[in-house]
Amino acid sequence: MSIQTSVLFDVPGPRARKRNILYTVLTVFLALIGLSILYLGFNRTLSDRESSLFSAETWAVNPAGQWAADMWAPFLRADTWTGYVIPGLQNTLTAALTASVLAIVFGLVFGIGRLSKHWWIRVPSGAIVEFFRGIPLLMLIFFTMALPIVAWQVFDVPTGTFQVTALAAVVTGLTLYNGSVLAEVFRAGILAVPKGQSEAAESIGMSRTQTMWTILIPQAVTSMMPAIVAQLVVLLKDSALGYIIAFPELLRSFTLLATRESNVIPAAIICALIYIVINLTLSRVAIWLERRNARRGKPSATPTAAGGAPSEVNGARGSDEKPTEEPGPHKG
Amino acid sequence: MEAFLSNIDRVVDGFSWTVRLTLLSAFFSFILGILLTAMRVSPVPLLRGLSTAYVEGIRSTPLTLVLLFCGLGLNSALGVSLADSVAMDVFWWAVIGLSAYTSCFVSETLRSGINTIPLGQVEAARSLGLTFTQNLRMIVVPQALRTVVGPLGSVLIALTKNTTVASVAGLGVQEASREMKLMFDQGIAPVLPTFVGFAIGFLILTLPMGYFFGWLAKRVAVVR
């Protein structure tokens, strides 16, 4: 059983209703003050000593401030979208999609590798997964950029001026990190398939490999789908790290645009909106898949995230807890 | 490896900023996260809506954008300065950005913890006449916190790794990953040992955290 928010309090009576109205008014008041400070600050009239805070010209849209129509005008021109936003979005999606496919392959290989009965497969797989899950993604990206230097310093390979492209570095980093997280998702999903399934498969003479690919994985995939999609949201969001190594993805395009038009705030707002729309859509898909699994009476695998990110999206279980309890924490 | 070890003071300095960012952001995001959760389940519809909009919005925005907004938007464009020296100014903005971002995940984790509390607990509390805040303070939050110790540990580990993003343009806090990048670029030590050294540094921070929270989660687990 779980709580819906409405059971935490009784149906408000006359006094509670009055109190709620008071809180609402207070909230509106505080929110208005906060918004006013932001508005005036970016309007560049907040610290204006000449006009008082309550005069009309303080509140009028300042042509030199961030809210001026000129600052938003670039987003009404076609060349802004064709020159900055759409190429940026394309690069973001290219990096995210490539990394998604590679991360799923990486996750499958090492997730199944960790379940192998040979220790010389199991132990290295575990070490690789734990290593890439435990260090920051940004460090992996920096290291990939520096790989030619490593080749030259360690193996004497004459790499010369050869450089790893920013796209390759972002995709490599995203693949290694998210692949390791997905490996844990796959492992949890496969372990969550009832034991009788693999016992039955082995008793009719199937090999371990056959059991894995024809019995366990097909059943595990449905239960893993919400966690996989949730991780892909993380991956898409993390592709914005490409900004730091000058990969011309969505965020980079917007900062270039903001520098050219000096409209930092409108650019930031519209950029955030684009990310929010994409990610919320993907999150809804994950929730829908989870609900569908719950309706069909199948458990949804939750990643055992010591490394962090996926559990945050999926509602989270403990790092050492096995997903044996009731399935989705979001079930109302 | 010798060249790397002879620069160990720079490594330690980098990690000291990482630790400072982590601890302060963890503190603020925990407080803000509890506040957001309380708002999320409160009887006032407006508070619920605000909290939901904030959590869903920030959660879907890349951390890089949040920190860029703090650095270029609030610090540079708005001209709000939080400290006298540039280094401390960007440090505090990084703490604010990281807290604003992480508090969403803390809030989501706590909310999932609240969802695991049996209905009877809350109904019993209400039937005793406890008000919403009493209910939350004495019945719901203590139980919810105990069930989410493990996931909160995961959030803290993610935060530790996320502090590397504070090296982003507009902020440029001199934390570990930036120190590593500088050492790569200046060529004062071979790249591979440097990378391995910094990776070990992060593992020293995150692995014990994971074990500690795993142990703590088992210790305080609610038996049902």
Nearest chain B residue to A320, by CA: B214
Query: Is the Cβ–Cβ distance between B113 and B141 less than 8 Å?
Result: no
> Is the model's pLDDT at B44 over the cut of 70?
yes
Mean pLDDT in chain B?
A: 89
For residue B112, give the nearest of A278, A307, A316 by CB distance: A316
More confident of the two residues A138 and B81? A138
Sign of CA dihedral B167, B172, B177, B181: positive
* Mean pLDDT over the full length of chain A: 83
d(CA A59, CA A64): 13
pLDDT of A311 above 50: no
B105: nearest CB among A146, A251, A312: A312
- Sequence spans of domains, chain B: 19-173
pLDDT tens digits, one per residue of A20-31: 899 999 999 999
Q: Which residue in B60, B195, B216 has the most chain A C-beta atoms within 10 A of its own C-beta, making it the best mutation to test that interface?
A: B60
- Is the CB of B177 less than 8 angstroms away from the CB of A308? no
State the count of interchain CB pairs (< 8 A) between A and B.
236
Which chain B positions have a beta carbon within 8 Å of A315's beta carbon?
108-109, 112
The answer to whether A309 contacts B158, with C-beta atoms less than 8 Å apart, is yes
Contact B126 A9 (CB under 8 A): yes
Work out the pLDDT band at A313, boundaries 50, 70, 90.
Answer: very low
Domain membership of residue A228 (yes or no) is yes
Interface test with B, best of A4, A22, A135, A154 (most B CBs within 10 A): A135
Residue A17 lies in a domain: no
Spatial distance between the Cα atoms of A255 and A257, rounded to a whole number of angstroms:
5
Mean pLDDT lowest among A20-24, A222-226, A305-309, B158-162: A305-309
Distance from C-alpha of A99 to C-alpha of A59, rounded to nearest angstrom: 47
Q: pLDDT tens, A214-246?
A: 999 888 888 888 889 889 999 999 999 999 988
What is the structure's pLDDT at A320?
36
Nearest CA in chain A to B79: A41
Best of B106, B123, B136, B154 to disrupt the A interface (most A CBs within 10 Å) is B154
> pTM here?
0.87
Give the CATH fold of the B19-173 domain.
MetI-like fold (1.10.3720)
Q: Does A212 map to a domain?
A: yes
pLDDT-based confidence at A301, cuts 50/70/90? low
Of the pLDDT bands very low, low, confident and very high (cuts 50, 70, 90), residue A60 is confident
Mean pLDDT of A46-70: 77
- The rounded percent of chain A whose pLDDT value lies above 70 is 86
Opening angle at CA A62, ends A60 and A63, nearest 5: 135
Mean pLDDT across B104-109? 94
What pLDDT, on the 0 to 100 scale, is given for residue A325? 35
pLDDT for A119: 93
What pLDDT is stored for residue A159 in this prediction?
Answer: 73
Q: What residues of chain A lie within 8 A of the CB of B46, using their CB?
A: 23-24, 27-28
Higher pLDDT: B74 or B208? It is B208
Could you give the angle at which helices A250-261 and A86-113 cross, rounded to 10 degrees? Answer: 150
Please tell me which residue, A305 or B183, carries the higher pLDDT value: B183
Does residue A27 belong to any structural domain of this protein? no
Interface test with B, best of A279, A304, A311 (most B CBs within 10 A): A311
Q: A38-52, A188-202, A274-288, B102-116: which range is least confident on average?
A: A38-52
Whether A300 maps to a domain, the answer reads: yes
Can you give the pLDDT at residue B83?
79
- ipTM of the complex, rounded to two decimals: 0.90
Give the domain range for residue A235: 93-314
Q: According to the model, what pLDDT value does residue A4 have?
A: 52
| φ and ψ of A204, to 5 deg | -95, 15
In chain A, what residues touch B181 (CB-CB under 8 Å)? 142
Q: Does residue A146 fall inside a structural domain?
A: yes
**A10/B63 Cβ within 8 A:** no
Name every chain B residue with its beta carbon within 8 A of the beta carbon of A316: 108-109, 112, 148, 151, 154-155
In this structure, of A43-52, A89-98, A152-161, A198-207, the range with the lowest mean pLDDT score is A43-52
Query: Residue B63 and residue A315: Cβ atoms within 8 Å?
Result: no
Q: Which of A10-24, A35-49, B100-114, B173-187 has the highest mean pLDDT?
A: B100-114
Q: How many domains does chain A have?
A: 1
Given a cut of 90, is residue A93 above it in pLDDT? yes
pLDDT value of position A49: 61
Q: Which residues contact A131 (CB under 8 A, 6 or more apart)?
A: A180, B199, B203
Mean pLDDT value of segment A177-203 = 92
Core vs surface per residue B96-117: b (16+ CB within 10 A) or e: bbbbbbbbbbbbbbbbbbbbbb
Read off the CATH number of the domain in which A245 is found.
1.10.3720.10
CB atoms within 10 A of CB A160: 8
Q: Does the distance separating the beta carbons of A243 and B161 come in below 8 Å?
A: no
Kindly tell me if the per-residue pLDDT of B3 is higher than 50. Answer: yes
Which of A268, A276, A316 comes nearest B69 by C-beta?
A268
C-alpha distance from A261 to closest chain B C-alpha (Å): 14
A293 pLDDT more than 90: no
The predicted-structure confidence for B18-34, as pLDDT tens digits, reads as follows 999 999 999 999 999 99
Mark yes or no for CB contact A135/B202 under 8 Å: yes
